[in-house]
């Protein structure tokens, strides 16, 4: 149960409510029990490949448990 297949990762620039620019990594993943893709965002200053995989695996397990 959990993460299925490789992760897709892209970096982009976003703006907060005060107009300050910040970089974000968008992680796209699939789960074993669902169709489609799910996305989570990680601030670039917190991003590592290992951390991204851990977060995606945890989220995938939550989603799979929710759908039964």
Domain boundaries, the chain: 3-67
Asked if residue 31 lies in contact with residue 16, where contact means CB atoms within 8 angstroms, the answer is: no
Measured CA to CA in angstroms, residue 60 lies from 3, 40, 44, 50 at distances of 5, 11, 21, 15
- pLDDT tens per residue, range 18-31: 999 999 999 999 99
Q: How far is 17 from 26, CA to CA, in rounded Å?
A: 19
Q: Give the per-residue pLDDT at 5.
A: 81
How far is residue 51 CA from its own chain's centroid? 10
pLDDT at 37 over 90: yes
- Cβ count within 10 A of residue 68: 5
């Amino acid at each position: 149960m959990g993460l299925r297949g490789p992760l897709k990762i892209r970096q982009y620039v976003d703006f907060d409510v005060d107009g300050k620019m910040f970089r974000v990594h968008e992680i796209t993943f699939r789960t074993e029990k669902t169709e489609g893709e799910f996305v989570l965002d990680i601030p670039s200053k917190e991003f590592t490949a290992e951390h991204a995989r851990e977060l995606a695996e945890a989220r995938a397990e939550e989603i799979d448990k929710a759908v039964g």
